Amino acid sequence: MFVLYDFSPQIRNKGMPLPTSGKLIWALLLCMAAGASGVGDGEGPEADAPWTLHPAQIERRLERYGDPMEKASRGIPRFLFDDNDSDENDEAKKKNDISWIEGIYLPLRDPSLVPSETCRNDVDAILKVLESPVLSGTINNQGRFWNVFLVDSWGKTGDGILDGNLLLWGMPPECTMLYVKEVFPWPWNINATFSGRYCLVHTESLQGEGKDTLLDAPAVRVGASMTYTGFPSIFQFGTCIPSSCTSEDMMASLNVTMHIGGKKPKYVDCLEEKELDGGDIAYIVVLSILGDLMLGGALADWLIGERQELREGPLRFLLVFSVSNNLKKIFQINKKPSRSVISCLHGMR
């Protein structure tokens, strides 16, 4: 903490006293705050992400907490389709078959369901990377871990399913921070560029069609009824898909895949990046101008102090926007009875 002394007596003798040290400090703090607000803009989605970890840290976490892909395979797929530990499934695991991901966490690559070729290409690239330890190792050795974070952001079954823990949201920020740009020539033929798009899938049962009492009853959602296969789960789970894919692509894929298990998606909510139109830009400009006027009025109010000759000059048009002055007027209570004062408004203030 420091104190500003009056170091210019000549100015004071001419009738122009300097502002007090406290006012200058407040002005300095306001300027610093205004400058700091424009600093720190990230260069990309990963710049401000809390998951920018060192490769050794990621490796240690995977060893300690397990592989997200394995957790995903043990959770929602069996929750949807009543999968069991058959010899066929064990053989698929040995072959590193992750075809079960399509239609659950990622859109299908069927052109009749997903018309976007870019979406299908990006999904194909993701599956190739996840299926191949060589590709995954190459990407990770180059310091890129999007394949790990993509799977880790998916919603997976956790604790308390029988007690109603059916909101498996995953980790949206871990998905939206991703930016992928991979080019691998033959034999992989991968050329994909996309960001992560988080989607929340809401499911219901085909058995409930025409029987609203089953779907609306609270007992279906929580408690021991979850153990009865006749009451299919109504739950939500989050997934991360390429930005080239849409909620319609995911919905069409889920309809086909989940129908096999006697379930269906109710709807799919995806976080969409909305582009600013003319009205949005005008609204932002108006708010920015008002904010600058309020900041400038408060700064001028503190610097001028009690000098009425300045308050009555051209600066009076700026002082009307002073935050501190207006707050005093808003919260000032006149205790004297008057017809021009509505006393009941004092409580609202």
Residues with Cβ within 8 Å of 88's Cβ and at least 6 positions away in sequence, in order, are none
How far is it, in rounded angstroms, from Cα 100 to Cα 85? Answer: 15
**pTM across the whole model:** 0.60
> In degrees rounded to 5, what are phi and psi of residue 180?
-115, 130
Q: Which of 105, 124, 111 is nearest to 265 (CA)?
A: 105
How far is it, in rounded angstroms, from Cα 123 to Cα 108? Answer: 8
How far is it, in rounded angstroms, from Cα 78 to Cα 72? Answer: 10
pLDDT tens digits, one per residue of 272-325: 777 788 888 999 999 999 988 888 888 888 888 777 777 777 887 888 888 887
List the structure tokens of 328. 């005093």
Output the tens digit of pLDDT for each of the chain's 349 residues.
334 334 344 434 444 444 444 555 555 556 555 554 444 443 444 444 555 677 888 888 888 777 888 888 777 777 676 544 444 444 444 446 788 889 999 999 999 999 999 999 999 999 999 999 899 999 999 989 999 999 999 998 877 776 767 788 999 999 999 999 999 998 889 999 999 999 999 988 776 444 433 333 333 333 333 333 444 456 789 999 999 999 999 999 999 988 877 788 889 999 877 778 888 899 999 999 998 888 888 888 888 877 777 777 788 788 888 888 777 777 777 777 777 666 776 777 6
Distances (CA, A) of 286 to 101, 283, 292, 297: 47, 5, 10, 16
> How many residues are recorded in the chain?
349
Q: Please tell me whether residue 271 adopts helix, strand or coil conformation.
A: coil
Start-to-end CA span in the chain (Å): 35
